[in-house]
Structure 1
Amino acid sequence: MHDVTPDIVTMAKQIGNGFPLAAVVCKKEIADCMNKATFTTYGGNPVAMAAGREVLKVIEEEGLQENCERMGRLFMSGLHDLKERHEAIGDVRGAGLMIGIEVVTDKFTKTPDQKMFEAVFERTKEYGLLMGKGGRYGTVMRIQ
């Protein structure tokens, strides 16, 4: 996406699908510097590790990462079309299927519109959509 290869990647939450599990993935030269006396409360929990292994297996076997990228591009394209047609959408941003839609009074000044945000936020529930609130003023619809 950004054509960058990181030295260290951390991940949690989804990797254990609700079980207490996190991971640090890094280059060998960094891993070799780690102190062997590192301790963690949940380290080696066999149930969490089994869950994590199965989550990674499903992600790979079902091509979920590729699907997320493909669907994210399609979704973002549609949201950018909506932004062009609606004054209340100040910005659409995100990557994959982690997207934010900024609700504003005017797309040029990008003044946050709390009243419109609340109305849209509540209305989405009627359609079975659960959105999150984000942004500095709490007027960014978070889709994850």
Structure 2
Amino acid sequence: ENPAYTGASGETGGIASILSLIKENLEADITAADVDEADSVAAYGASKLELDNAIGAARTAISDYEGDKATHEQTVTEKTGERTGKKTELDATMTEIKALKPGCDFILVNYEVRLKARQAEIDGLKEAKAILQGADFS
């Protein structure tokens, strides 16, 4: 008497529970992945907004710096022109001083000689005046 083969009936409950456990784990993993993805999308949006704001601020700063640079370059150009004009004036003044120098040197070198000659001339005029007024120098 051979009973009819019914298969491994004790094992079917174990396999079904394992498959059920795997299904539950996969559903939990999918839910966690969906939550993580939603968090990541929100973080990306916040980071993108922050970076876009930073890029806008940097572009504004660059524009401001370029404006400052243009202003400073204009100032440099103006100051260079002023300096060139003043250099031209200085050169003209120095040329004039060099032209006057020989006359000044003549007066400086001959001052003592001219002073003595002038003093002798004054003394002679005083003596002539005194003679004309009746003084006797003999």
How would you bin the TM-score normalised by the shorter chain?
Answer: under 0.3
Larger radius of gyration: 2
User: If the length of structure 2 is used for normalisation, what is the TM-score?
Assistant: 0.21
User: If the length of structure 1 is used for normalisation, what is the TM-score?
Assistant: 0.20
